[in-house]
Amino acid sequence: MPLVEITQNSHPVILELLYATDANFTGKAIYKNARCFLHEKAMPLFEKVLHLASNQGYTVKIFDTFRPKQAAQALWDFCPNPIYVADPQKGSNHTRGVAIDLTLVDKTTGVELDMGTPFDDFTDDSHHSAILTPEVARNRYLLLGIMMSAGWDFYNNEWWHYQLFSPRDYPLIEHDYGIM
């Protein structure tokens, strides 16, 4: 099995897997079980992210990682916009297990950093190239710097989305790992 499960017991993270709740852009739960997986080849880079974030006083909050094919189809059916949702016929980097949606939380205060928009905000304001307040720009650049220093590539239209370089080198994963 190419995927490794991430739990709050296995790693110092906050899991807020929004597709397992109705607090996502569809307004209904997509996942039956809130489980978090990454491809085994992504794990060393993910663990480097945790180390870099912690050294700067932050905890990583994960919104989504591996996304089963059925979930990708449900998201596409609700919002068939290829700028923000991958066409399941072409395959999602999440369905390959090599993408992660995340943010940073201040370890001292427990407050999530202001990134200017919430997760899955499908507007130009969520783009890395958006005109931002100095605080929001600093927070996004902090996340971008941590992720890129750890070896992740970014997606320009979503400040929260990072993936391995050359994600299409990894096959789509058919098994749902108990999420659906």
> Is 158 in the active site?
yes
CA 98 – CA 68 distance, rounded (Å): 12
Instruction: Report CA 90 to chain centroid distance, whole Å.
Output: 19
Catalytic residue among 40, 47, 112, 158: 158
| Residue 164: closest CA among 115, 104, 94, 91 | 94
d(CA 163, CA 102): 11
Count other C-beta atoms under 10 Å from residue 110's C-beta: 9
Which residues are the active-site residues? 158
